[in-house]
Chain A
Amino acid sequence: MTAEAEDSTVVSFPLMDSRQIVAFGGGGFSMEAGNPLLDTYVLDLARQRRERPRVCFLPTASGDADHYIVRFYRAFPGSTCESSHISLFRRDRGAADLREHMLSQDLIYVGGGSVMSMLGTWRAHGLDRILAEAWRAGVILCGLSAGSLCWYSQGVTSFHGEVHRVRGLGLLPWSNCVHYGTGQGRREAYHELLQRGMCPGYAAEDGTALHYQGTKLVAAISSRPEAQAWCVGDRGDQVVETAIPTRYLGEQPKAGDASAGDLQAVA
């Protein structure tokens, strides 16, 4: 092909962003035994990439707990996908293999636990950079709790007792709070951190998930009819929580129920 012909074929309109993240506030097989709605949602997304998608579980935040890995394989059996897991505590793959394996996946599923311990371990193995590369290459990233916080630039963690700020991988330029509204002072601490200059972001209750294309939120979904996701930011004098229309993935509630889809600002 000549340079001229090549030039004439250049089409310069923005393509759909292939980078995707689905961040669970809490839910999926780790927290909702018998309720596969969020896991099915991410698996369906992965099916758009491959008929029998490759799903890799990262149990790092739990210290690669055996029982957790077993539960993953039960939730993502070989009949629905090609599942694997990476243990950074019993690592048998070299650096090149680790990267190659992650980049060949359709979905990378990050489990819950200690976000600080997870990020420290990832950095020691260069997995932080590999995950960013996988994201840019279109591998769908998802996870709950620590597996949600990690994708954002900042997160609120209470794993080590008192609530504090943690720096994530920064793929999403927002802050994040998981298990929102379940007590333990997370909501209050998040608001305080926002007032002290934390960037605005998204809060997800247990049972909700935030789906991003690129860095743009394209859907909020839930595995529980009443679960809600929120956009939260400091407006100078007060922290404002805006309810995000959250679509329940199960059977739709009957008409006449509360209008869960309406955008409502709550101070």
Chain B
Amino acid sequence: MSGAIVAIGGAEFTMRPENEALHDYVLAQAEPPNEDALRICLLPTASGDPHDQIVSFHGAMERRGCVASAISLFRLGVAPIDFAEHLLAQDVIYVTGGSMVNLLALWREHRIDEIMRTAHERGIVLCGYSAGSMCWFEQGVSRGTGAPTSVTGLGLVSGSHCVHYSQDPPRRDAYRRLVESGEMKPGLALDDHAGVLIRDGEVIETVRSREGSAAYRVEPGDDVVLEIPLESRLLETAAPAVEPGLAEMRELRRSRSGSRRIL
């Protein structure tokens, strides 16, 4: 059975509760054998492998008891690895945002596109946000070359996909126009903090980690483009994680001032 794909309209590896809920949702889709620690690998290719993103990812995943790693296509000199061997040993592969154009060009250059297909066939969970969400579909709307245009993805999920739907009006307008003209296939639009779970090409459920985030099915209508809202489940957000040092400092201040005001 091919693996689950979790597409997210926009998120980050920060400790904001919305993001934390989406991380947990992604990890819940994987079933590591023998209850081993879950192995998750980050591909930060689309944004040129920024160091801070890799560090945040490690933080977010290691807090959850995962064995986290990252493949940086721009800094392999330091630690060369066998892409296929490493990626196919994962439970989850996480792809972050940036330029979808560059992401796919680089994957082709390093033959990671083929490895991703194999990973999917072998049941590894594939997920990502922004460019890392659109890459799994047949088509995505990328701003990687300036104006929003249709870019061909890996096609593991049929149809098109648009991210940052309510957050990026020019992208939304372009997507509607491209779907209306037939240049892009009908597809799925996701706001930031909205995600879909796809198994065997079918949408299993739509989730959101923030109240206002929505998901839509976008398809040509009789005279206008149809934007059909999809019902989504609000994920329970864990209490915001607070740095131990910060909690201690707050406690200290409270005890000193005698005030119960939360800083």
Contacts and interface: CB of A to CB of B under 8 A. Distances in A.
Interface in A160-215: 160-162
Given A88-B99, A114-B76, A65 B105 contact: no
B145 A94 contact: yes
A95 B146 contact: yes
Given A114-B76, A117-B73, A94 B101 contact: no
Q: Which residue among A89, A94, A162 has the maximum number of chain B CB atoms within 10 Å of its CB?
A: A89
Interface string B66-102: 0000001111110010000000000000000011011
A158 B77 contact: yes
B139 to A, nearest CB: 16
A63 B48 CA distance: 4
B198 to A, nearest CB: 26
A129 interface: no
Q: What is the predominant secondary structure among interface residues of chain A facing chain B?
A: loop
B146 to A, nearest CB: 4
A55 interface: no
Contact of A91 (B47, B72, B99, B104): B99
Interface stretch (B7-15, B106-114, B176-184): B106-114
Q: Which residue among B46, B72, B75 has the maximum number of chain A CB atoms within 10 Å of its CB?
A: B75
B219 interface: no
Given A63-B50, A89-B98, A94-B145, A160 B106 contact: no
Contact of A114 (B46, B73, B104, B145): B73
Contacts of B159: none
A52 B77 CA distance: 37
Q: Which residue among A66, A90, A124 has the maximum number of chain B CB atoms within 10 Å of its CB?
A: A124
A219 B133 CA distance: 50
A30 interface: no
Given A92-B146, A114-B73, A65 B109 contact: no
Interface string A102-145: 00000000000110110111011100000000000000000000
A65 B143 CA distance: 20
B: contact size bracket = 20 to 34
A110 B178 CA distance: 36
B138 interface: no
Interface residues of A, number: 30
A74 B74 CA distance: 23
B144 interface: yes
A117 B45 CA distance: 10
Interface string A71-105: 00000000000000000111111110100000000
B101 A124 contact: yes
Nearest to A157: B77
Contacts of B104: 124
B241 interface: no
A116 B144 CA distance: 19
A121 B145 contact: no
A160 B78 CA distance: 8
Given A120-B105, A121-B106, A123-B105, A91 B74 contact: no
B18 interface: no
B99 to A, nearest CB: 5
Contacts of B147: 94
21 contacts: A63-B47, A63-B48, A63-B49, A63-B74, A63-B75, A65-B48, A65-B50, A94-B147, A95-B146, A97-B146, A114-B73, A117-B73, A117-B109, A117-B110, A120-B105, A120-B106, A120-B108, A120-B110, A121-B105, A124-B105, A160-B77
Interface of B: 46-50, 72-77, 80, 98-99, 101-102, 104-106, 108-110, 143-147
| Cβ-closest 6 pairs across A and B | A161-B80, A63-B48, A120-B109, A124-B105, A63-B74, A94-B146
